[in-house]
Amino acid sequence: MSLSIAFSGKGGTGKTTIAGMLIRYLLRKEATPILAVDADSNYNLNEVLGVEVDTTLGEVRERMKTGEMPSGMTKDRYMATKLEEAVVETDYFDLVVMGQPEGQGCYCAANTLLSDFLQKLTKNYSSIVMDNEAGMEHISRLTTSNVDELLVVSDPSRRGLQAAGRIKDLAHNLNIGVGSVYLVLNNVREEPSERMQGIIADMGLDLLGTVREDETLQEYDLEGRPSVELPEDNPAVQDAFALFQRLIG
């Protein structure tokens, strides 16, 4: 049975970086095969992982919706072929990118095929890691559904924690099959103060752990280097691995 973990949080909290660290941790635990899903329309999980993306699922859906396909091929066969081509395969994991959201017009048929494809695809993997877009839109659109764990990443700020609390509440209220919801505090300089712990408690959040602010990680980001290449003794990597150990062993 596969393990599915999704990430959410307001923009700029580093959730994509933490998602990349989880994939690295799962590789270390040999919890393979692994499927990484970038459900952010402004996708960059591939940059964290150091892989190129040629086609997104959103682009395939758009071509089908607009009727751009070879003659003599059914829409279903064409989209199935193109969706399979959109899976980026590496020696360590596979990656699919959702890409652009829906534009104008009806996407019902294309979305049905896309949903069916994703359901069939995920059955082939032991571990699934989904990086969602900032905010709560992905939950209200049911992008994040039937996942075992939802990790809401926040910076150590009141606004970040309030956003995390709203995401947690929405995930539960929509009843979309999300299992446990945990808070991950990223870019911290010290352990949460009593005041911050009070805010976390008031928002009904369950703190899984903290990840330290790290200059080397920031340098990798500025240089465009994949953060999965950080040395394992890096403080941020160590913190992330520690909280993953608590989560999945």
For residues 49 and 88, the answer to whether their CB atoms sit within 8 Å is no
Predicted pLDDT at 215: 94
- Which pLDDT band holds residue 39 (cuts at 50, 70, 90)? confident
Predicted pLDDT at 121: 83
Domains of the chain, each with CATH number or no CATH: 3-248 (3.40.50.300)
Q: What is the pLDDT of residues 163-181, one digit of tens each?
A: 999 989 888 887 777 889 9
- Please state, in angstroms and as integers, the Cα–Cα distance from residue 86 to each residue in 36, 61, 92, 108, 213, following that order: 13, 11, 17, 20, 34
- Would you give the distance in Å from CA 230 to the centre of its chain? 19
Predicted pLDDT at 233: 95
Q: What is the pLDDT of residues 44-88, one digit of tens each?
A: 899 999 999 998 877 877 777 666 667 777 777 777 788 888 899
Q: How many CB atoms lie within 10 A of CB 174?
A: 15
For residues 166 and 42, the answer to whether their CB atoms sit within 8 Å is no
What pTM was computed for the model? 0.89
